[in-house]
Every structure is written in structure tokens, then in C-alpha cells.
Amino acid sequence: MEVKRTVPVKLDVPDERRDDLHTTIEQFNDAATYTVENGRNDDGHLILNKSKIHDRVYYDLRDRTDLPANLCVRAYSAAVEAMKSTVDDWKAGKSRPLPSFGEPSAIYDKRTLTIKDRSATLATVTGRVEVEYVLGDYQRSYLDDDEYERRMGTLHYREDLDAFYLHIVLLKEVDERDGDRVLGVDLNLKNVAVTSTGTFYDGGELLWGQNHSFRVRRSLQDKGTRSAKQALARLSGRENRFVLDRLHTISRRLVEEARSHDCSYIAVERLTHIRERMDNGNDRIKRQMHTWAFRELQDMIEWKAAEYGIRVEDVNPAFSSQTCSKCGHQSSTNRDSDGWFSCNECGYELDGDYNAAKNIGIRLLTVPEGKRPSGLGDGQLALKSGTLNLSDDHSSAEFRPEGESHGQAHDFSRG
């Protein structure tokens, strides 16, 4: 699998060359805008083909701007990409204006940008500019990793900081990890995350504390927005950073957990179902916020797992909290209001979220042939000690915990 990272690097631009970068960005946007305005066939349809766009606008762009040839190509290419996604939206019935290019940024590729370890050279309207990086540990760790190929970059001007940044795109090919072991993960409000190996990532109260919800709510009311994500993005203060830091830590530990149990897959619940699980007493704003946070957490897990070739798969979590992970019996009375699970059928008892985490993993292992992730094979679930192997025939949806001497068959078809 391909691992892609975009690393923002602050640039130390010589004073006398800052205007060259400003002008380059301005003209890049002008060229992209010109392409959108003029990139039409004689019948008025937008041209979405790069070689046809080239014929249409390239020489105009060379005349209109001082951009070097390859930045003109990048500018009309950016315009074509934006027009394509606009047309896709139109086809899907969404109304949307033609793309515009007002952001202070310009796209660079190998022909216009040379990325070195501690500096870069950028093409501009007045020849190349050499800039030094201003690096932190994070940036350095990626730039010093030889396995990453430095593909391209985007030059940004941050008005709030009066500084130029180069967002460097790095690519690494990682082999998918062999093996068929699965780590099941349950996401919930009490513990944030619980794994089938019995690790509890707690601190839900801290993470979703009253104070934080209140801030989000107030922010939503003040600014009249509809999305909690936007509200949280604007909460650039301490609390927002606290939540993101906490989610980063949890995701990093979860991936370490998967590695230490030799797992090649992490099973998580499909997020389209997460809202349904959160309607007990939570109001809309809180639900939105939790959904946002769980989505962030899953993205982070996927992001970090990819570096080790571990695949993250989502499964339908329906009834995973009501179903016994030992015998498969499903009942709403299996779990009490304190979150303790006690099976009506077989008497199995354990923490409810821990039980759900096992079920999430079992769900992936019982995905029918044809829909299963490639390489999963029969699969086995990682437990606190040892693994759970399901029966060879997945379609029977029966499994038998490994090492259980009484050899009970557990029927999951009722689950």
C-alpha cells in the first residue's frame, strides 16, 4: 500500500525574493482562473481534457503571465482537476459555482521544485529562488527518512503569520503485512476505545467533558453554523488541541497494540452506524461532536497503521453490544445499564465494551467469502492471551473458541 504524507515546512525566504514568491502565487491563481473562464469548447462545454486545455490556453497563459512553462502547465492542470470535480457534483445534482482560485498557494512538481534535505529551489516569475527550511523534529523525521520519495509540493503564504510554507508531499510504498490476525476495536463514549485484547483506553469523561461540550454548543449558537466539525475547527484553543492530542495518543497506542499482537488487520465499526448508538440521552450537538471525534480517531488509526502495512477494515456493528462474544446469543437484556455484560444464555460475563470489541473483530472474520478483505483467509481474532479461530466454513457463521476443552459450538447465526 502507498503511504502518503504532506509535511508543512516553514521557509526562510530572503527578503529580496519575497515579492517574487508573492507574484508567482498571484499569477498562478490568475492562470488557473483564466483557464476556467476560457476552457470551453466552441459549443460552450467545459474542456476536461488536459491536452485539449493545453491547445486552448497554454500560449495565452505564456503571454499573460511571467510564469515559467511548467508552472503554466501546473496552473491549467489544477484548473482542469477543479472543473472535473465541479462537473461530477453537477452530475450528482448538486449546484455549485465554477471553481475559483483565491487561496494564496501554488502547486509545484518535480520540474518546478527541487526538494533537498534542508532547503528547496522553487521556480518563480523571475528565475529560481533557493530557500532554507525552518524545521521542527516532526518535519526532520520525515525529511531524514530515505524511504520516502519527495514527490511534489504546494507553496503557501500564511497571512496570519506573514510566512511562506512548503507543503511537501512524501510517498512510501509499504508492503501489506502478512498474516490473518485481527484486532477488534470498539469505540464508545465511556472508554473511547477498547480492544479485543482487553486494553481499555479510558478517559471518556475527560475527553467529552461537560465544559468542552458547552464550548462547542456556545460556539455553534454564536456563529450559527450547522456543523460541529466547523465549530471544533474554530475552537483553536486549548480544548480542541487537547481532544486532538488525546486522539493522537490513543490511535498511536492502538496501532502499537496491533503490532505487539502480530495483527495484520484492525476491525472498527462502520461510522454510518455510530449515530444510532449515541441517541440515548445525548443531544444533537453532542452527537455531532462525538461522530466527528470518532471519525478523526479512525482516520488517525488508518493513517498510522498504514506505515506498518496494517489494514483497517470497517464492519457493521449492529447489535455488537447486545450479542454474546462467546455463544452468539443476542438480547437487549444481556447488558445492564452500567455497561456490564452478562449472557442470558451461557452466563458469560465481562465488561460490555470489551465484549463489543470482540464482536467487532468476529464480524470481520465472519464476512462472507467474496466480500472478505484479500489475504484475510480464515482469520483469527487476537485476544488478551492467544487467539480465537473461527470454523473453516465461514458461511455457517459458527465459531469455536480455540483451546476450549468442552468443544462447544457457538452459534452466531442468531447474532
Q: Which is nearer to Zn ion, 103 or 349 (CB)?
A: 349
Contact with Zn ion (CB under 5 A) among 47, 327, 356, 388 = 327
Query: Which range touches Zn ion (CB under 5 A), out of 50-58, 124-132, 340-348, 395-403?
Result: 340-348
Q: Which is nearer to Zn ion, 142 or 348 (CB)?
A: 348
Interaction of residue 212 with Zn ion, rule CB under 5 A:
no
Interaction of residue 81 with Zn ion, rule CB under 5 A:
no
Cell of 347: 452466563
Interaction of residue 181 with Zn ion, rule CB under 5 A:
no
The CB density around residue 69, as the number of other CB atoms within 10 Å, is 13
Residue 145 per-residue DSSP state: -
Give the C-alpha separation, 293 to 283, whole Å: 15
Cell of 64: 499573460
Cβ 282 vs Cβ 213: under 8 Å: no
Task: Please enumerate, as own/partner, the contacts of 271-279 that have beta carbons within 8 Å and a separation of 24 or more.
Answer: 271/295, 271/298, 271/314, 273/316, 273/317, 273/318, 274/187, 274/317, 277/188, 277/317, 277/321, 278/189
Contact with Zn ion (CB under 5 A) among 318, 348, 351, 373 = 348
Interaction of residue 329 with Zn ion, rule CB under 5 A:
yes
Cβ 45 vs Cβ 7: under 8 Å: no
- Nearest distance in Å: CB 404, Zn ion: 13
Cell of 244: 486532538
- Nearest distance in Å: CB 270, Zn ion: 24
- Nearest distance in Å: CB 409, Zn ion: 13
Contact with Zn ion (CB under 5 A) among 324, 356, 390, 397 = 324
Contact with Zn ion (CB under 5 A) among 307, 345, 351, 411 = 345
Contact with Zn ion (CB under 5 A) among 71, 194, 343, 382 = 343
Q: Report in angstroms the alpha-carbon separations of 171 from 23, 53, 174.
A: 29, 28, 10
Q: Which is nearer to Zn ion, 345 or 351 (CB)?
A: 345
Interaction of residue 319 with Zn ion, rule CB under 5 A:
no
**Chain residues in the site for Zn ion (CB under 5 A):** 324, 326-327, 329, 343, 345-346, 348
